[in-house]
Amino acid sequence: MFGAHGEFQICSQPPTMYLKLFGSFNNEGINLLTNGVVNELSMHPKGAVKFVVVNLEEFELITVDSMDSLEAYFASVKERGYERVDYLYANIIAKNMFEKVWNSSDVEVNFYKDSENYLQQHPDDEYIKNYW
């Protein structure tokens, strides 16, 4: 058995959840991330979180063994009623991976070069202004 790789920080301020990913995620890391998101969402009424902002600045992608877990995670995410997911600092590989994962969903998916680009579209997002 391997230890979990990949770290994350979660903050939810409905209707938005903020997620910051660090490092490279293996299968166990994806499972911890999934549990962390579920625990965070359980603190709010169902459907309270409509938007997710993901900071990928320190994200180093995922290991091969975690792809099935990632796909299962996103299948469950699609059913939670998210309307929009915004990725910040996504490199071309991460962008391609997340575009494929969201391909068959009704969720609006956006990619921003950095937090400044994001704030041009969402100037009232105080969390991003203060913490990212």
* Domain chopping of the chain, boundaries: 7-131
Give me the architecture of the 7-131 domain, per CATH.
2-Layer Sandwich (3.30)
pLDDT in tens, 51-106: 999 999 999 877 666 667 776 776 666 677 889 999 999 999 889 888 887 887 88
Interatomic CA distance for residues 10 and 100, integer angstroms: 23
| Across 100-118, average pLDDT | 91
pLDDT band at 128 (very low <50, low <70, confident <90, very high): very high
What whole-number percentage of the chain has pLDDT above 90?
52
Tokens (6 digits) for 89: 């600092």
Interatomic CA distance for residues 67 and 71, integer angstroms: 6
Q: Identify which has the larger pLDDT, 119 or 80.
A: 119
Which single residue is written with the structure tokens 């995620």? 25
Peptide bond into 45 cis (omega under 30): no
